[in-house]
Amino acid sequence: MSYKDLILESLTTRDEKEHAFHEITIANQQLVQKVITLQLKEKQLEAAMKTAQIQNETLTQAAEYAKAQGSPEHQQRVAELDRRIHDLNEERAEMYKTQSGNAQRLVHMNEQLQKATETEKRNSAEYDSYYLFIYLLWIKHVNSDKKNPRKPFRIKKLTASVKQLGTKCDLQTEQLREKDIAIQILQDELAAIQLEITTTEERNKKLEKENAQLLQRWLDKMNQEAEKMNEATEFYENFLEQARNVGQTIRKTSGGKWVMRPSSSSDKSKPDRRVHAATVVLPVSPCKKMALSDGELFCIKASSTGSMFATGGSDKKLRIYDAKTGNVTMALGGSLQSITSICFNPSDELVLGSSTDNSTRIWQLSTGRIRHTLTGHIGKVFAAQFTADSKRVVSGSHDRTLKVWDLQRGYCIRTIFTFSSCNDLTLADVEGQTLVSGHLDNNLRLWDTRTGNGIKELTGVHTGQITSVSISPMYPNGDALLTNSRDNTLKMIDLRMYDIVATFQAPSYKNGANWSRSCYSPDGSYIAAGSADGSLHIWNTLTRNLETTLKDHKGVMCGVSWSPVGDYLYTAETNKNVCIYNTAFQV
């Protein structure tokens, strides 16, 4: 190999090594860009921290204001504060995640800087050896070309090449110096970022402490309200006990107040119309019978205000009736198959109907038009219910799922897998946080609608599938659950201890449908259920005795519903017959 080829190969090798510095330069530029991005993120985090601190101060003022005012709306304000605390906790967790990511990036950048420094040192040593090798090679060729007549020309050319290489070496040295300066700047910026992260962590700790104080104030406020509620409940129970002990009844005056009055002789002469501390009496006979003409009936439900009731069945219509006269006021269409359950919202502005077409529809009663169609189940929907604020709906289906729907956004926000087909469901609290479902596998299940997690599964309650579940309005704070089953028994379960406190049954009572619904009276004193032979059974929840049996239907009864006002009881059978019973006080 000639010296020209050797020099050419050496120069080629040199060029390849110089390109390695180009990659290092690009890598350093990327590091600078990353540092700039991190600075922007840190500024955003600081702004978010300021916003969170302002929100926390606002929440603190709101909590103190709610504590000072003590208005009837304090529960709504406390709930809003709880939601905001939850949002702040989520923001704080997100900030922790961001800080962790920043720390990881800092470690990665330090590793890259160390590698770049080692590469520069190694390349510097290799370039020194390379130039020494070129110089020695040049000396060798100069000595070997003493007799060559073109020696001056070659010496001049080699000298120019050496100068050019020296210039390039100086340029590379200057570039290395500039890179060292850039690396030092990056290290200073990283130190500043670490300091800002430390400051942010201190602010987070301060915010966490303030949130804990706010939460403790909220808990203290809730404890005070609970104590007040307990005192009121205790006073009410003592009031009732005194009324029973002295042989008096509790009646409602024209001014809207409850007073104790001595039981009259006419009251004592009616053994089957026992009067409790409530707004209902036992029915004797229907005040109106209705024979409907369109399809089988599957469900019946009284409205929340007691001004109307509704029926649904195989005719795919949800029909609205006047509560007193029984006249049809509206027929709501849109369902593709049978209506299986009905529920009114608390203000009676909306009504929903679940259907065997795998959907739930919500109608606006003022216009008679469909407001929402909730689709997502892949099986028949047998039960659905509004929450107290009318912002959400829960539904249960034979596809072994429960779904929570947000009516403001119009879609499902949570799906709960239940391992068994759901026949009926109910909400155990006003906020709609605890959901109770009855299933085809004879079991009861309690769920947290906020997380979708199971709270409790009650097995062995019934030996047949559960057809309905309903919560008591008066035991003593709505903690008693009534279940109806195909094993021909009804049971009352204490949801505080998960114990069966009462079992209701009768030789003549037979549950005749998988969707047969039972119900409480508005005062919680009675429970009513319809039998397969068309008889209405009513039990006393205090004595556990069967109070009355009314045989005004001929076919299988699919449901009973007591008006929340307590003035009427509605019953329905699958053979298109409806009965209305008057259960109001006759003063």
Q: Give residue-wise pLDDT tens across range 169-191.
A: 888 888 888 888 888 888 888 88
User: Do both 226 and 366 map to the same domain?
Assistant: no
Residue 18 lies in a domain: yes
Residue 353 lies in a domain: yes
User: Do both 436 and 564 map to the same domain?
Assistant: yes
Contact by Cβ (8 Å): 577, 554: yes
Residue 105 lies in a domain: yes
User: Do both 24 and 91 map to the same domain?
Assistant: yes
The answer on pLDDT for 263 being more than 70 is no
Q: What is the predicted pLDDT for the residue at 323? A: 93
Q: What is the mean pLDDT of residues 544-569?
A: 93
Q: Can you tell me the distance from the alpha carbon of 516 to that of 488, in angstroms, rounded to the nearest whole number?
A: 11
Q: Is 436 helix (H, G, I), strand (E, B) or coil?
A: strand
User: Do both 514 and 366 map to the same domain?
Assistant: yes
Dihedral over Cα of 387, 393, 394, 398: its sign: positive
Q: What is the predicted pLDDT for the residue at 118? A: 80
User: Do both 215 and 307 map to the same domain?
Assistant: no
Q: What is the predicted pLDDT for the residue at 478? A: 59
Percent of the chain with pLDDT over 70: 83
Residue 478 lies in a domain: yes
Neighbour tally for 162: CB within 10 Å: 14
Q: What is the layout of strands, in order, in the sheet containing 359-364?
A: 339-344, 350-355, 359-364, 369-375
Residue 280 lies in a domain: no
Element (H, E) at 550: strand 546-551
User: Do both 222 and 255 map to the same domain?
Assistant: no
Q: Can you tell me the distance from the alpha carbon of 401 to that of 407, in angstroms, rounded to the nearest whole number?
A: 19
Q: Give residue-wise pLDDT tens across range 316-356.
A: 999 999 999 999 999 999 999 999 999 999 999 999 999 99
Q: What is the predicted pLDDT for the residue at 1? A: 66
Q: Give residue-wise pLDDT tens across range 524-535.
A: 889 999 999 999
CATH number of 550's domain: 2.130.10.10
Query: Inter-axis angle of helices 74-144 and 151-245, to 10 degrees?
Result: 170
Neighbour tally for 351: CB within 10 Å: 26
User: Do both 267 and 292 map to the same domain?
Assistant: no
Contact by Cβ (8 Å): 386, 393: yes
Domain boundary among 239, 264, 298: 239
Give ∠ CA 558-431-68 in degrees, rounded to 5: 145
Contact by Cβ (8 Å): 575, 558: no
Domain that holds residue 216: 3-239
Q: Could you give the C-alpha distances from 535 to 74, 238, 473, 571, in angstroms and in order?
A: 46, 36, 25, 10
User: Do both 256 and 217 map to the same domain?
Assistant: no
Closest CA to 340 of 293, 377, 304: 377
Q: Give residue-wise pLDDT tens across range 29-41.
A: 888 888 888 888 8
Q: What is the predicted pLDDT for the residue at 346? A: 93
Q: What's the pLDDT band for 215 if we cut at 50, 70, 90?
A: confident
Q: Give residue-wise pLDDT tens across range 426-449.
A: 999 888 899 999 999 999 999 999
User: Do both 369 and 472 map to the same domain?
Assistant: yes
User: Do both 252 and 311 map to the same domain?
Assistant: no
Q: Can you tell me the distance from the alpha carbon of 556 to that of 574, in angstroms, rounded to the nearest whole number?
A: 6
User: Do both 118 and 261 map to the same domain?
Assistant: no
Contact by Cβ (8 Å): 365, 349: yes
Q: Give residue-wise pLDDT tens across range 267-317.
A: 433 333 333 334 688 999 999 999 887 789 999 999 999 999 999 999 999
Q: Which residues, 6 or more positions from 155, have their beta carbon under 8 angstroms from its beta carbon?
A: 142
Residue 65 lies in a domain: yes
Q: How many CA atoms lie within 13 A of 395 on its CB side?
A: 37
Q: Give residue-wise pLDDT tens across range 108-140.
A: 777 777 787 787 777 667 666 666 676 666 666
Helices marked H in 278-431: none
> Which residues are bridge partners to 258 per DSSP?
252
The answer on pLDDT for 16 being more than 60 is yes
Residue 33 lies in a domain: yes
Q: Is 249 helix (H, G, I), strand (E, B) or coil?
A: strand
Mean pLDDT is highest, among 132-146, 247-261, 477-491, for: 477-491
User: Do both 213 and 90 map to the same domain?
Assistant: yes
Query: Mean of the per-residue pLDDT values for the chain?
Result: 83
Provide the domain count of the chain.
3
Q: Can you tell me the distance from the alpha carbon of 361 to that of 354, in angstroms, rounded to the nearest whole number?
A: 6
Q: Give residue-wise pLDDT tens across range 63-86.
A: 676 666 655 566 677 677 778 788
Neighbour tally for 367: CB within 10 Å: 8
Q: What's the pLDDT band for 260 if we cut at 50, 70, 90?
A: very low
Residue 587 lies in a domain: no
Q: What is the predicted pLDDT for the residue at 71? A: 56
Q: What is the predicted pLDDT for the residue at 67? A: 64
